[in-house]
Amino acid sequence: MCGIIGYIGEKNANEITLKGLKKLEYRGYDSFGFANLTSKINIYKDIGKVSQIKNIDLPKSNISIAHTRWATHGGVKKENSHPHQSNNKEIALTHNGIIENYQEIKKELIKNDYFFKSETDSEIIPVYIEYLIKKEKIVFFEALKKTLKKIKGNYAITIIYKNEKKIFFAKKGSPLIIGIGKNENFISSDMNAFLECTNKIICLDDNEYGFIEENSFSIYDLNTNKKKNKKINLIKNDTLKNKEIIKENKKIKNIKTNNNNNNNNNNNEKNNEKNNEKNNEKKIKEIIEKIKNKIDFKQNYNNHYMLKEIFEQANTIDYAINQNIKKITKIINKIKKTNDIFLIGCGTSYNCCLYASYLFREILNKQTTPIIASEFENYLPLITNKSLIIAVSQSGETIDVLEAIKKSKEKKATIFSIVNTNFSTLTRISDENIMMNSGVEICVLSTKSYTSQIAIFLLLIYSLKYNYNNAIKKIKKISNKIPLILENNFEKLKEIADLIKEKNDLFLIGRNSLYPIALEGALKIKEVSYIHAEGFAGGELKHGTIALIENKTPVIILSSKKNRELTLSNAIEIKSRGGYIIGFDYINNEIFDNFIEIPNIDEDNSILMIIPLQILSYFLAINRGCDPDKPRNLAKSVTVI
Ligand code: AGP
């Protein structure tokens, strides 16, 4: 999705906004642009990648706004990229979101002899402001306010006006955050764009507008026109936050999470935990070194974030379960008492919700309803003030999730969220948040955020089934196995990717909780290698999909103790039609043409299956010349409907 960064202060605004845009590249985009203010407004914009430019061909300035565009209204063309200007070139704007009534406004402006250079909805905003200033003889800020009341839809906008040393802004439905510096201020759609410069932020809420200057900011409410005092938040880095949670938890003596008295963590357990974490980090480093020696990392794997974030999972799972025990206890008590629980998400986060619904049933015998957020309105009649909604979102800005939560709040439902991005919109509209603590996920694909989301559901479910301490132990058993999976299978996964890279279709089969894993594996493969991968429940094979199995069609079979017999019979049916079987299990089988060994841990090794599937999708992307970090057409966070 589009990215916005603005700077006003004593430094070189061109440099700061260029650096900021590069931090936003991970969100996915197809064009970019800058506007700065000297005695006039200067514009530089183009299609392509920001990373290709060293400096911006604009005069020096202390005020600059910049934008990365992910095309919605109007194709990928230079004239459609932002910033957009008024006809008299005295106003420049960047915009995230969609203006729903832009056609009628555009018609009114054209009737009054105004012209447009782009096909976008955004361009009507600066032109309409110019129109009002001339027609009603009002000042810029008044014209901005009237324009905001005229337009319908979602927006996060920044504007510079030739006659004022300010950056104006307005927010409704799309994220916008102010960064407070010393003799400088920032504004962005994503705090990662300026976190290097300041960790003091103000999160704007819907229907707020105003401006930032070098040493001050003014925020108004569009409905009341009154000036607002907003809280300045301090962003702590994840390490600091993790340390604070561990310190807080140590103060809690007997950890009661489900009426069983837990034996308190004694010292040697605490030492084990610490050693585990250090061991994992050490093991991962050793494995990466081994792998680097075997595979020409330099030539093909130039440090893609996707691979880095896959490897980080041995530790991010542990960070995810490092939660404030009091908060976890409160949340699981609410889960225990509630019968209608809805799990909401999109894409990978939805696949996590579906997987969690299997865990709730299999481990707690508790019914929960997983819902694709964009389908939520079909379930709205079921939502009451007794309902518990658990929203899952890495970015906390996915518009379909936010829309579902806003409608649930109108029904007075309780909202818990599992989120990675602090101070995101979702964290601010939920009753309780469980932060994933995964650190910034740069790759557009969700990898470490997926396993962190699952780990948090396992923490809640195991804490209810057993107790908090045992939950931690069981989940650490999972994270401790990840280095082993990587070490034993990394090269074989590369070989398998070499074998199937030319294929255009690939199928994944899973039963029970392996079915949602098959869906997630298919999503990874399709979104990063553009192979048409389809995951489906093993029992569905003969209900249609088997018609697609041809000679050498690759099929990944996810198998474990619970469903091995039935899954192997699926494999035999596929094999007899010429399919190429890649088995994922902890024991091999002669039906498999290739085999990926998954460590056997207790009743649940299904979540471990996703690690080799992520690696396989990475190698398929590389083999097919795809960018694993920024796949075509995809954005890191879908903030427009
Ligand atoms: C998954 O790899 C994709 N990046 C996408 O499906 C993503 O999971 C989805 O857009 C939801 O994003 P969220 O977790 O930030 O809400």
Rounded CA gap, 99 and 123, in Å?
Answer: 10
Q: What is the mean pLDDT of residues 40-66?
A: 91
Residue 263: pLDDT over 50: no
Count Cβ atoms within 10 A of the Cβ of residue 554 and give its class: 0-12 exposed, 13-18 middle, 19 or more buried. buried
What three-state secondary structure class fits 97? strand
Question: Cα of 305 to ligand 1 centre, how many Å?
Answer: 16
Question: Cα of 395 to ligand 1 centre, how many Å?
Answer: 8
Q: What is the mean pLDDT of residues 149-177?
A: 96
Which of 26, 189, 190, 349 is the pocket-test mutation for ligand 1 (most atoms within 8 Å of CB)?
A: 349
Q: Whose CA is nearest to atom 7 of ligand 1?
A: 347
Rounded CA gap, 396 and 389, in Å?
Answer: 15
Residue 191: pLDDT over 80: yes
Residue 445 Cβ < 6 Å to ligand 1: yes
Report the percentage of the chain scoring pLDDT > 90.
73
Rounded CA gap, 7 and 384, in Å?
Answer: 44
**Cis peptide bond N-terminal to 83, omega within 30:** yes
What is the reported pLDDT for 296?
Answer: 53
Residue 144: pLDDT over 90: yes
Question: Cα of 394 to ligand 1 centre, how many Å?
Answer: 7
Alpha helix segments (H runs only) across 530-605: 564-575
Residue 277: pLDDT over 80: no
Q: What is the mean pLDDT of residues 349-353?
A: 98
Residue 444 Cβ < 6 Å to ligand 1: yes
Question: Cα of 614 to ligand 1 centre, how many Å?
Answer: 15
Q: Which of 474, 526, 630, 636 is catalytic?
A: 636
Three-state secondary structure of 205-273? CCCEEEEECCCCEEEEECCCCCECCCCCEECCCHHHHHHHHHHHHHCCCCCCCCCCCCCCCCHHHHHHH
* Residue whose structure tokens are 């998954």: 598
Rounded CA gap, 414 and 335, in Å?
Answer: 11
Residue 255: pLDDT over 60: no
Residue 424 Cβ < 6 Å to ligand 1: no
Is 135 in contact with 114 (CB distance < 8 Å)? no
What is the reported pLDDT for 71?
Answer: 78
Is 516 in contact with 543 (CB distance < 8 Å)? no
- Which of 67-76, 141-150, 187-196, 334-343 is predicted with the least confidence, judged by mean pLDDT? 67-76
Q: Which of 2, 197, 203, 346 is catalytic?
A: 2
> What atom of ligand 1 comes closest to residue 636's alpha carbon?
4
Residue 268: pLDDT over 60: no
> What atom of ligand 1 comes closest to residue 527's alpha carbon?
2
What is the reported pLDDT for 28?
Answer: 74
- Taking alpha carbons only, the member of 446, 468, 449, 443 closest to residue 458 is 468
> What atom of ligand 1 comes closest to residue 449's alpha carbon?
14
What is the reported pLDDT for 262?
Answer: 41
What is the reported pLDDT for 251?
Answer: 66
Which of 313, 346, 632 is the pocket-test mutation for ligand 1 (most atoms within 8 Å of CB)?
A: 346
Is 408 in contact with 389 (CB distance < 8 Å)? yes
Q: Whose CA is nearest to atom 9 of ligand 1?
A: 347
Kindly list the distances between the CA atom of residue 565 and the CA atoms of 349, 516, 562, 589, in Å, as whole numbers in the listed order: 30, 19, 8, 11
* Residue whose structure tokens are 């003014």: 218
Q: Is 536 left (phi over 0), alpha (psi -120 to 50) or beta?
A: beta
Residue 349 Cβ < 6 Å to ligand 1: yes
Residue 285: pLDDT over 90: no
Tell me whether residue 636 is one of the annotated catalytic residues: yes
Q: What is the mean pLDDT of residues 64-90?
A: 90
- Taking alpha carbons only, the member of 206, 164, 163, 166 closest to residue 187 is 166
Q: Determine the residue type at 19.
A: K
Rounded CA gap, 131 and 86, in Å?
Answer: 9
Tokens of 457: 């559901």
Q: What is the mean pLDDT of residues 112-117?
A: 97
Residue 425 Cβ < 6 Å to ligand 1: no
Rounded CA gap, 613 and 528, in Å?
Answer: 12
Tell me if 238-266+288-470 shares its fold with 489-641.
yes
Residue 446 Cβ < 6 Å to ligand 1: yes
CA angle 61, 64, 67 (to 5 degrees): 145
Q: Are strands 200-203 and 208-212 parallel, antiparallel or unpaired?
A: unpaired
What is the reported pLDDT for 113?
Answer: 97
- Which of 16-30, 398-412, 422-436 is predicted with the least confidence, judged by mean pLDDT? 16-30
What is the reported pLDDT for 26?
Answer: 75
Q: What is the mean pLDDT of residues 326-353?
A: 97
What is the reported pLDDT for 375?
Answer: 97
Question: Cα of 420 to ligand 1 centre, how many Å?
Answer: 12
Q: Whose CA is nearest to atom 4 of ligand 1?
A: 445
Q: Under 8 Å CB-to-CB from 70, ≥6 apart: which residues?
A: 1, 2, 27, 28, 29, 30, 635
- Which of 265-274, 324-333, 392-401, 573-582 is predicted with the least confidence, judged by mean pLDDT? 265-274
Kindly list the distances between the CA atom of residue 112 and the CA atoms of 107, 128, 130, 134, in Å, as whole numbers in the listed order: 9, 11, 12, 11
Q: Under 8 Å CB-to-CB from 52, ≥6 apart: which residues?
A: none
Residue 265: pLDDT over 70: no
- Which of 200-204, 290-294, 539-543 is predicted with the least confidence, judged by mean pLDDT? 290-294
Question: Cα of 283 to ligand 1 centre, how many Å?
Answer: 29
Rounded CA gap, 619 and 50, in Å?
Answer: 26
What is the reported pLDDT for 170?
Answer: 98
Residue 617 Cβ < 6 Å to ligand 1: no
Delimit the domains of the chain by residue range.
3-234, 238-266+288-470, 489-641
Residue 394 Cβ < 6 Å to ligand 1: yes
372-410 as b/e, with b when 16 or more CB fall inside 10 Å?
bbbebeebeeebeeebbbbbbbbbbbbbbbbbbbebbbe
Q: What is the mean pLDDT of residues 430-434?
A: 96
Residue 301: pLDDT over 90: no
CATH topology of domain 489-641: Rossmann fold (3.40.50)
Alpha helix segments (H runs only) across 312-437: 313-320, 325-337, 347-364, 399-410, 425-429
Residue 346 Cβ < 6 Å to ligand 1: yes
> What atom of ligand 1 comes closest to residue 634's alpha carbon?
4
Question: Cα of 187 to ligand 1 centre, how many Å?
Answer: 24
- Which of 3-17, 40-54, 414-428 is predicted with the least confidence, judged by mean pLDDT? 40-54
Rounded CA gap, 157 and 144, in Å?
Answer: 11
- Which of 259-263, 267-271, 359-363 is predicted with the least confidence, judged by mean pLDDT? 259-263
What is the reported pLDDT for 260?
Answer: 41
Question: Cα of 348 to ligand 1 centre, how many Å?
Answer: 5
Average pLDDT over all residues of the chain? 90
Tokens of 357: 């619904």
What three-state secondary structure class fits 440? coil
> What atom of ligand 1 comes closest to residue 447's alpha carbon?
2
Tell which wins on pLDDT, 364 or 266.
364
> What atom of ligand 1 comes closest to residue 348's alpha carbon?
8
Residue 603: pLDDT over 80: no
Confidence of residue 62 (pLDDT cuts 50, 70, 90): very high
Three-state secondary structure of 70-82? CCCCCCCCHHHCC
Rounded CA gap, 248 and 636, in Å?
Answer: 33
Residue 256: pLDDT over 70: no
Residue 315 Cβ < 6 Å to ligand 1: no
Question: Cα of 447 to ligand 1 centre, how many Å?
Answer: 10
Question: Cα of 571 to ligand 1 centre, how many Å?
Answer: 31
Sheet containing 233-234: give its strands across.
41-47, 31-37, 63-69, 3-9, 184-188, 177-180, 200-203, 233-234
CATH number (3.60.20.10, 2.40.240.10, 3.90.380.10, 3.40.1260.10) of 3-234 reads 3.60.20.10
**Quick count: other Cβ atoms within 10 Å of Cβ 259?**
8
Residue 428: pLDDT over 60: yes
Confidence of residue 6 (pLDDT cuts 50, 70, 90): very high
> What atom of ligand 1 comes closest to residue 346's alpha carbon?
11
Residue 297: pLDDT over 60: no
**Quick count: other Cβ atoms within 10 Å of Cβ 303?**
9
What three-state secondary structure class fits 68? strand
Q: What is the mean pLDDT of residues 418-441?
A: 93
Tell me whether residue 2 is one of the annotated catalytic residues: yes
Sign of CA dihedral 392, 394, 396, 397: negative
Q: What is the mean pLDDT of residues 573-601?
A: 94
Which of 26, 638, 641 is the pocket-test mutation for ligand 1 (most atoms within 8 Å of CB)?
A: 638
- Which of 102-106, 461-465, 574-578, 635-639 is predicted with the least confidence, judged by mean pLDDT? 635-639
Is 614 in contact with 314 (CB distance < 8 Å)? no
Report the percentage of the chain scoring pLDDT > 70.
90
Which of 446, 520, 523, 528 is the pocket-test mutation for ligand 1 (most atoms within 8 Å of CB)?
A: 446
CATH topology of domain 238-266+288-470: Rossmann fold (3.40.50)
Residue 83: pLDDT over 50: yes
Confidence of residue 276 (pLDDT cuts 50, 70, 90): low
Question: Cα of 423 to ligand 1 centre, how many Å?
Answer: 18
> What atom of ligand 1 comes closest to residue 347's alpha carbon?
6
Tell which wins on pLDDT, 318 or 25.
318
Which of 348, 352, 393, 517 is the pocket-test mutation for ligand 1 (most atoms within 8 Å of CB)?
A: 348
For residue 525, the surrounding DSSP H or E stretch is helix 514-529
